Structure 1
Amino acid sequence: MLLTRPALTADDATATALLNCLVREVCAPEQQVREDGGHLVVRLPRVGVTLRTGLARPPSGPTYRLAPPFEEHRDSAWIATGWDRLADLVTGELELATGQANPEFLAQVRDSHSTLAALLRAREESPADPSVDAYVESEQSLLSGHRFHPSPKARQGDPAQWLPYAPETRARFLPRWLAVREELLIEEGDRAAFSVLDELGPAAPPGHRLLPAHPWQLSLLADRPVLRRAFAEGLLHDLGPAAPEVAPTSSVRTAYVPAADVFCKFSLDIRITNCVRKNAWYELTGAVALNEIVQPVFASLDGCTFLAEPAYRSVALADRRLHEGLGVILRQGVGGLKGTPLLSAALADPYGDTLSGLPALATPEGALAWWDAYVRHVARPALRVYLQHGIVLEAHLQNVLVAVDDEGMPVQTAFRDLEGTKLTPAWHDRLAALPPRVRDALTYDPGRAWNRVVYCLLVNHLTEIAAAVADLHPGIDAELWPAARPHFASCGDHPQLRALLAGVPFPAKANLRARWARTADRTATYVPVPNPFAGS
C-alpha cells in the first residue's frame, strides 16, 4: 500500500529535521531511542526531557520516517511541541553535552524556518509548467532540503534579495554581463570552452572579453572600492542583464543555461546551509587541475560520466574577494546524456512526486528492478573510482543525476561537482607542481576519504533512495538491501568493502554537531549508524 505523502509545512519540516539530527547524533549513540507502537520515543539525557514523534512506517537501516505529531512528556501527559521549543531543547542539550555555547545556532534554525515559509508562499504563485524540462523541474523541486541538517534551508539575506534567484520558486533570470579588458581577464583550462557563451552573450567593446555574473553576487560586491574604481576607469563595463536566460539549480549558485547546454557555477558570498558559497582562488585552479585527472578515468567506464569543468574565468584586480567573487566555473551540460536526467535528491524527496511519477515503479516487482538498476549505475562507479583509482566522489543526492528511459528505468549516471571531489595520497606526484594550498584542498587522507565515500554514497544517498522506494511499496523494504549486495561485492575483494558487507556501522556526517561547533564541513566528524547489510 502506498504510504500517504505528508503535506509540507515549514513548522513540520523544521521539527522533523531537528529530530532527525537529534536521534542520529545525540540520542541513538547514547541508547536513548526506542520504538513504542507507531511512535519513536527519544530522551534528551542532560536536560531530562522525553519527546515522542509519529512513525510513518517501521524503520529500515539508518532511516526513520518521522511524522507529526511532535510531543513532549510533561506532568504525566504528552503535549504538543513546536519546532521552536525543539530548537531550544536541542540548544540546551548540546550546551550541556559540549560545555560550549553557540549564540548563532537558534538564529540559523529560525532563518531556515523563515526561508522555507517564504519559499512555500512563493511556490504557490509559480505552479508547475508542463512544458518545462523534467530535468530542470527536478533541480528546482527541493523545498525542504537536507533531512539530517538542523537548518537545511538557512540562507542569509532578505527574501526580497534572493527570491528572484531561488530554484525552489522555479526562478529564471538573465545574467549580468561584464566586459573585461583583455589584459585583466584571468582564464585557466580550455579557453575555447567559453566560446558558446561568448557567442550568445551581448557584444563586448573592442579589446574586452565577456564575463557572466550572478546579479545577486554583483550586488553583494557593488561597494568594493576596487570594483567601483575599475568601472569608473573603464577597466570593466557593466553591460547589464542580457540573454540567454538561466535556471538556478539545487545548489542555488549554479545556473543551467539551456540555450548553450552548459552550467555556470557562480560565487555567492552568503552562507547557504553550511558554507559561504564562493569559488575560492584555490578551488578555481583546483577544478581545472582535477578535471584533467578525473576525465580520463571516467572515459574508461561504461554507463556513467562526470560532468566536466574544463575552464574558469575571473578578473585580475587588486582585491582577492573580487577574483573569487566574480570567478565563474564552466560545467558541461546534460544534453549528451542517454536519457532524461533527473536529480537524485528529487527522487529521494519524501515530499515530492518525482519518483512516484516514473512508470517503472508502478508495481513492487517493477520497483525492485528499478532499485537494482539504480544501485548498479550509481554504486559501482562511485566505489570503483575510489578503490581502483583513488578518486573520492561526493556522490550525495545533490551531486548525482540519473538519466532514465521512457519508463523511468536508470540507463546512465552523471556525477558532478569537482569542489567536493578529492584524491587520495596515491596522486601525490601528479599534484606536486600545484601550489600547496591548491594541493591540500584536493586531497584526503585514506581514513577521511573512505568515510566520505561511504557517507555520501550510502548514508546520504542510497539509504534515502531506498526509503523513498519503500514509501511507494512498503512490502519490499526487506528485499532492497539483499538485492543491492551483489553490486557492492562485484567491486573487488577489498578489506574495506568486506567490512562494509559484513555489517560494520556506516559513518554518518554529524551535521548538527558541525553546526554547533562552527567547524568547516571538511573537518566534520562522523557518528555510527546501523548498516542495513547486517541484516541482508
Structure 2
Amino acid sequence: MHRPPTAEAEVAEELAAVRPDLLPGFTAGLAGARAAVLTRLWRACAHEPLPWVAGRDAARGGLVLRLRDGRRLAGPAADPYRTDAYVRVVHLDDVPYDDPARLTTDLAVPHSAGFAGELGHSVASLALSRTARENHPDEWPDSDWGWEQRVVDGHPYHPGCRSRPGFSVADQLAYGPEHRPVVGLGLVPVPASGCLVTGVWPRDLRDGGKVLLPVHPWQAAHVLKRPCEERIAARPLMSLRTLAVPGGPHVKTALGARLTSSVRDISVASIAASATLSSFGEELAARMDGLLHMTRTLGAATAHSPDLAAVLRESPRVYADRGEHVVPVAALATTALPRRPGWPAAFARLALTVGLRALELGVALEAHGQNLLVVLSAEGGPLRLVYRDLADIRVSPARLARHGVAAPGLPPRMLTDDPVVLRRKLFGSLVGGALAATAGSGEALREALEGVVRELPRTPDVVALREEPLPVKALTLMRTSPEDTGDLWARLPNPLHRG
C-alpha cells in the first residue's frame, strides 16, 4: 500500500532546500524527538481517562493497557511527572512502535487519524527546533527574550509539544523563538472609528485618524492575505505570537495557526476586557506583600476581528532590581538551579505561598511555566513571582467578597464559586505543570513539596492538595474529543503520597 510522505520526510525535503547545513542535525535528532513525543503520549495513555482504554495493569516493572477492542498496549511504568524522554518503544500486542504518529495511526481509535498527523508534525518540528539548541546552563541571558528562547522542546507534557502544521520549515526558522530570529512586525492602518481600543494606545502607533495595529508577518501573508511593510523589529518569545520589542513592550499578536492545541487569534471580548483585567490584577498583586507582580496591559486594540488585533504588555523585567533576573518557569530546567540542594523546596515554598494566598482571596491563576515567571537574586535564589496574561484565570465572587475585593466588569466565563473548578485551575497548572516540570520526576516533586506543604495552614484548599489526586488537563483526550470544547481533566497520583 502506498503511504503519503511523513512529516519527517516533508521537513527533511524542505530543509534540504532552505538550510541544507541543518539537515544532518535534523536527521540525527529524529530518534530523540520521537522518544520525547512518545513519552508524552505514553503518559496520556497511562493516566488520562481515554474512552478506548478498558483497564490498566502493572506487569514486571511496566504497564499494560487493555484496550476495549481486546488488544494490549504495553510499555514501561509511567511516571506522570517525569520529563526526560525515557519511553523509546511500546508494544501494541507483539508489534514494537518507536514512532508516536505510526502508533496512533494503527491504534485506529476515534479521531486518531488527525491526531496522528499532529504528532508527526510535533516530532519533525521538535527535531528541527533542536538543531538550534545550545546547552549553556551556567550562562544566563541578559535579555528577557534570551531566557524565553532557551525553551526548545515546548510543552513538557503535551504530545503536540512542537506541532506547527501551519508553518513551513522556512516559517519555523524565520519565526520560531528557538532559532533566535529578528521578526519584522507589520503595521496595518485601521480607521479609529472601526477600531476598539482599550487602555492607552501609543502615539507612535497612530497616524492621524488611523490606529496602526502590529501584525505578525505570517498572519499578514496567510490569514489577512495582504502585503504588510515590516516596521517593528522584535524578538519572539516562547509563545511565538508574543514578541519583545527591545527597550519597549511585549506585543501579543493574532496568529491564526494551530500551535500545540490552539489557534492563536485574539478575541474581541478579550480586548474589551483587557483594561479591567489589568486593573484587577494590580489590585490582587497589591494584597500579596510584594511576593507577586502582575504585568500590566498598556493598551489593546482590535479591528473588531480576532484576526486583526494586538495587545501591548509591559515586560516582566520592569519588576527586577539591579542584578536580578526574571525567568519564565519553563526556562528554569535549562539552568543548574533545580539541581542545587534546597533550591526546589525554596521555589515550591514561594510558588505555593503565592498561589494559595491568591486562591484564598478568590483568584485561581493558570500558573503554568509560560505564564509564571520568577525573580531570581544574582545568586539564583527565588525572591518573588511575576504573572502575565490574565485571560484564563478563574475568579470566585464569593471569596472576593469575604475579603472585601470588588470585581466589577470581569468576563462571566471567568466567574465561579465551585472549589473544584478553582483548584483544578491552580493545582493543574502550578503543581502538575510548573513545579512538576521544574522537578522533572515524581520523586523530585514530592521532595520539593513535602516539607513545604506541612508548613501551610490546614485550609480546605491545602487539604485537597495534600489528600486528593492531582487534577491536570487531559491534553490528549482534549485533542481527540472535538465534540468537547472545554477543558477535560485527568487525576494523577498525588505526588505527596509515597508508593
In the TM superposition, 1:411-430 aligns within 5 A as 411-426=383-398
Query: Are positions 1:67 and 2:86 aligned together?
Result: yes
Q: Distance in 2 between matches of 1:89 and 1:43?
A: 15
Query: Are positions 1:298 and 2:317 aligned together?
Result: no
Q: Distance in 1 between matches of 2:445 and 2:363?
A: 32
Q: Distance in 2 between matches of 1:219 and 1:73?
A: 43
Assess, with a 3 A threshold, how the Cα gap between structure 1 residues 215 and 444 changes in structure 2: closer, same or farther: farther
Query: Are positions 1:22 and 2:45 aligned together?
Result: yes
Deviation at 1:174, TM superposition (A): 1.9
Q: Which residue of 2 aligns with 1:498?
A: 463
Q: Which residue of 2 aligns with 1:324?
A: 306
Q: Secondary structure at the match of 1:32?
A: strand
Q: Which residue of 2 aligns with 1:336?
A: 318
Assess, with a 3 A threshold, how the Cα gap between structure 1 residues 340 and 281 changes in structure 2: closer, same or farther: same
Q: Secondary structure at the match of 2:490?
A: strand
Query: Are positions 1:41 and 2:9 aligned together?
Result: no
Gaps of 5+ in 1: 1-5, 96-100, 229-237, 349-353
Q: Secondary structure at the match of 2:220?
A: helix
Q: Secondary structure at the match of 1:247?
A: strand
Query: Are positions 1:454 and 2:443 aligned together?
Result: no
2:453 to 473, 482, 485: 485
Q: Which residue of 2 aligns with 1:82?
A: 99
Assess, with a 3 A threshold, how the Cα gap between structure 1 residues 332 and 520 changes in structure 2: closer, same or farther: farther
In the TM superposition, 1:393-408 aligns within 5 A as 393-408=365-380
2:220 to 213, 218, 225: 218
1:512 to 460, 476, 481: 476
In the TM superposition, 1:103-118 aligns within 5 A as 103-118=113-128
Query: Are positions 1:525 and 2:498 aligned together?
Result: no
> Percent identity among equivalent residues?
23
Assess, with a 3 A threshold, how the Cα gap between structure 1 residues 314 and 62 changes in structure 2: closer, same or farther: closer
Given residue 154 of structure 2, which amino acid in structure 1 is its aligned partner? G
Q: Distance in 2 between matches of 1:380 and 1:90?
A: 43
In the TM superposition, 1:467-486 aligns within 5 A as 467=440, 479-486=447-454
**Contact in 1 for aligned 2:257/2:263 (Cα 8 Å):** yes
Q: Secondary structure at the match of 2:256?
A: coil
TM-score (norm 1): 0.76
Query: Are positions 1:252 and 2:262 aligned together?
Result: no
Assess, with a 3 A threshold, how the Cα gap between structure 1 residues 463 and 33 changes in structure 2: closer, same or farther: farther
Deviation at 1:128, TM superposition (A): 8.2
**Contact in 1 for aligned 2:252/2:311 (Cα 8 Å):** yes
Given residue 325 of structure 1, which amino acid in structure 2 is its aligned partner? D
Q: Distance in 2 between matches of 1:48 and 1:64?
A: 30
Deviation at 1:153, TM superposition (A): 1.8
**Contact in 1 for aligned 2:166/2:258 (Cα 8 Å):** no
**Contact in 2 for aligned 1:134/1:340 (Cα 8 Å):** no
**Contact in 1 for aligned 2:471/2:491 (Cα 8 Å):** yes
Q: Distance in 1 between matches of 2:173 and 2:348?
A: 36
Deviates more, 1:269-278 or 1:205-214: 205-214
In the TM superposition, 1:168-317 aligns within 5 A as 168-189=178-199, 191=200, 194-195=201-202, 198-199=203-204, 205-223=207-225, 240-243=229-232, 245-260=233-248, 262-301=249-288, 302-315=290-303
Q: Secondary structure at the match of 2:411?
A: helix
Query: Are positions 1:347 and 2:332 aligned together?
Result: yes
Given residue 272 of structure 2, which amino acid in structure 1 is its aligned partner? T
Assess, with a 3 A threshold, how the Cα gap between structure 1 residues 13 and 66 changes in structure 2: closer, same or farther: closer
Assess, with a 3 A threshold, how the Cα gap between structure 1 residues 35 and 341 changes in structure 2: closer, same or farther: farther
Q: Distance in 1 between matches of 2:490 and 2:317?
A: 39
Q: Distance in 1 between matches of 2:97 and 2:31?
A: 18
Given residue 497 of structure 2, which amino acid in structure 1 is its aligned partner? A
Gaps of 5+ in 2: 1-28
Q: Which residue of 1 aligns with 2:364?
A: 392
In the TM superposition, 1:87-102 aligns within 5 A as 87-92=104-109, 95=110, 101=111
Given residue 359 of structure 2, which amino acid in structure 1 is its aligned partner? Y
**Contact in 2 for aligned 1:102/1:517 (Cα 8 Å):** no
**Contact in 2 for aligned 1:51/1:71 (Cα 8 Å):** yes
1:32 to 46, 56, 68: 56
Assess, with a 3 A threshold, how the Cα gap between structure 1 residues 131 and 409 changes in structure 2: closer, same or farther: closer
Q: Distance in 2 between matches of 1:119 and 1:384?
A: 38
Deviation at 1:530, TM superposition (A): 0.9
Q: Which residue of 2 aligns with 1:98?
A: none
**Contact in 1 for aligned 2:281/2:390 (Cα 8 Å):** no
In the TM superposition, 1:120-159 aligns within 5 A as 120-121=130-131, 123=132, 133=142, 135-159=144-168
Given residue 56 of structure 2, which amino acid in structure 1 is its aligned partner? Q
Deviation at 1:21, TM superposition (A): 1.1
Q: Distance in 2 between matches of 1:520 and 1:162?
A: 30
Q: Secondary structure at the match of 2:105?
A: helix
Assess, with a 3 A threshold, how the Cα gap between structure 1 residues 64 and 246 changes in structure 2: closer, same or farther: closer
Assess, with a 3 A threshold, how the Cα gap between structure 1 residues 67 and 239 changes in structure 2: closer, same or farther: closer
Given residue 313 of structure 1, which amino acid in structure 2 is its aligned partner? A
Q: Distance in 1 between matches of 2:151 and 2:117?
A: 22
TM-score (norm 2): 0.81
Query: Are positions 1:378 and 2:378 aligned together?
Result: no
Given residue 513 of structure 1, which amino acid in structure 2 is its aligned partner? L
Deviation at 1:310, TM superposition (A): 3.6
Q: Distance in 2 between matches of 1:430 and 1:43?
A: 49
Q: Distance in 2 between matches of 1:118 and 1:7?
A: 9
Query: After superposition, what is the alpha-carbon deviation per residue over 1:317-338, rounded to whole angstroms, capped at 9, x for unaligned?
Result: xxx4xx3222111112123223
Higher helix share: 1
Deviation at 1:312, TM superposition (A): 0.5
Q: Distance in 1 between matches of 2:272 and 2:90?
A: 50
Q: Secondary structure at the match of 2:318?
A: coil
Deviation at 1:82, TM superposition (A): 2.7
Deviation at 1:114, TM superposition (A): 2.9
